[in-house]
Structure formats: C-alpha cells, structure tokens
Amino acid sequence: MQIQKRNIGLIVDDSLMRVYVAAPEPEGQYPGILFYSDIYQLGRPITFLADRLAGYGYVVAAPEIFHRLEPLGAVIEPNDLGRMRGNDDARRTALAEYDADGLAVLEWLKAENRVASGKLGALGFCIGGHLAFRAAFHSQVKASVCCYPTGIHSGKLGRGVADTMERIREIKGEVLTIFGAFDPHVPPEGRQKILQALKEAEVTSKTVTYEANHTFMRDDGYRYDPVATDAAWVEITTFLKGVLN
C-alpha cells in the first residue's frame, strides 16, 4: 500500500531527537513499530527499509540513535571514516540513554491515534538489532525483530557492559532473530549463546540464518544480498503479522 512520510521531534534528556515516521496512506489504525537503524543513522538505505515495512501496514517510527552527539538530521556515510565515527558515537552513548530513547518512541506510538491499542513491536539492524532486543524488555512490546544484532552476546553496547543477556527473562513478547552465517560480528558461538539464553528463559522465539554477511539487507554496500534480503522480509512480515495482527 502507499505510505506517508514525515519527521517529528521528541525531547529526551533535554536533547532533540528526530524521529522519521512512515505510515500507511489509507485511513485506519495499524500496529506501531519502534524501528532502529544501524550506526549510520537514517540514510536512504535505512529509511527505504522503514518505508517498505510501513507499506505492509505498520506505523514505523525510527529515531536518530546518536542525537545527543550528532547534528539534527546527520547521516553518517558507510565508509571507513563513517564507520569510525558511528562506532565512536555508539561507544560514547550510555546504555540508559539508549533505553530512554526507546521508551520515548514507544510512548509516542502509544499516544498516536493511528496506532492500534496494544499492538507495539520493535525492529532493528546491527546495533539497532540489539536495541530492538532490549525494547522487548518492555511488556508492551509484543514482537521484536533483531536483524544481525551486535553486542548482545558480548555485552557491547555504549559505555560500560550491557546487561542484556542477564535480563532476557524480562521478555514477555516474541522474538525473531535473523543472522548471516558469515557475519564476523556475531560468530556461531555468539549466536548459540543468544539462542540458548532465549530457550532457557522460555521466550517464544524463532531464528533464521542465511548464507550471508553482516548488514546484508543494506542495498548500498558490497555485502548486500538481495536473495537473502527478500527471504528475510518474508520471515519478518509473517512473524509480525502473526503476533501483531
């Protein structure tokens, strides 16, 4: 279906956070999705993914995850310098700040009249996959999709060591994890650690691994895999529809 696009501003910790919102054009209420980018923020490859999800019938809200450190609207280029810049921003952002941002977007979605009551989910890529996983700690989040999430198994997220693995039992919704078999950032032992923890916590979850690399869903890089991406979208939309619709 056709979609509408706009930007809104939310104040979190006295910092203006831009949130890119994509929603279906037809009138009605739809599930709301907290949508997290990778370290490069909201460039075209990420907003394209947000737009695509909105077209399936979701109100998608994507925050700028480094709004405390980067100018409003900043897009980090996915090159060597951009990678260093994005990773440094990620390192300098406190865990509590990431969590506060996610909660602010969820509260906005709950108050948005086009979002159906009780139907909230999260989706993210790379560092955003980790953040979408943490969003599942909120009981209001019924479905979380984590695409090649980095740092869950190692506790790497922002300053200090993240307590994500220790809090998995707080998840009450369902989780879909998507991995690339050749992803150096989430090696097989890391994937297994996450999946075993989900199983032990009795979280309803599903995982899919593709013969692909990290960030294989970004269409602007050498690791882009259109076949794996299309297959992942089938899994994502089927999962979200099953839980939220």
Radius of gyration of the chain (CA): 16
- How would you classify the pairing of strands 115-125 and 30-36? parallel
Q: pLDDT tens per residue, the chain (245 residues)?
A: 999 999 999 999 999 999 999 999 999 999 999 999 999 999 999 999 999 999 999 999 999 999 999 999 999 999 999 999 999 999 999 999 999 999 999 999 999 999 999 999 999 999 999 999 999 999 999 999 999 999 999 999 999 899 999 999 999 999 999 999 999 999 999 999 999 999 999 999 999 999 999 999 999 999 999 999 999 999 999 999 999 98
Distance CA 130, CA 97 (A): 14
> Residue 106 in contact with residue 135, Cβ under 8 Å?
yes
Per-residue pLDDT tens digits for 90-120: 999 999 999 999 999 999 999 999 999 999 9
pLDDT of residue 245: 87
Q: Which among 38, 67, 126, 225 is annotated as catalytic?
A: 126
Determine if the pTM surpasses 0.85.
yes
Helix (H, G, I), strand (E, B) or coil at 160: coil
DSSP 16-67: EEEEEEEEESSSS-EEEEEEE--TT-S-HHHHHHHHHHHHTT-EEEEE-TTT
Distance CA 28, CA 24 (A): 9
Q: Which among 138, 153, 214, 225 is annotated as catalytic?
A: 214
Distance CA 6, CA 19 (A): 9
pLDDT of residue 52: 98
What homologous superfamily does CATH list for 3-244?
Answer: Alpha/Beta hydrolase fold, catalytic domain (3.40.50.1820)
pLDDT of residue 147: 98
pLDDT of residue 160: 87
Distance CA 100, CA 108 (A): 12
Both tokens assigned to 177: 């994890």
pLDDT of residue 17: 98
Residues ≥6 apart with Cβ < 8 Å to 107: none
Closest to 32 in 3D by CA, of 101, 116, 100: 116
pLDDT of residue 55: 98
Domain definitions of the chain by residue range: 3-244
Question: Is residue 214 annotated as a catalytic residue, yes or no?
Answer: yes
Task: Please report, for residues 15, 60, 135, 183, 219, the alpha-carbon distance to residue 216 in angstroms, rounded to integers and kept in the order given.
Answer: 32, 21, 23, 9, 8
pLDDT of residue 30: 98
Q: Which among 38, 89, 101, 183 is annotated as catalytic?
A: 183
Closest to 22 in 3D by CA, of 14, 10, 1, 12: 1
> Residue 120 in contact with residue 140, Cβ under 8 Å?
yes
pLDDT of residue 140: 97
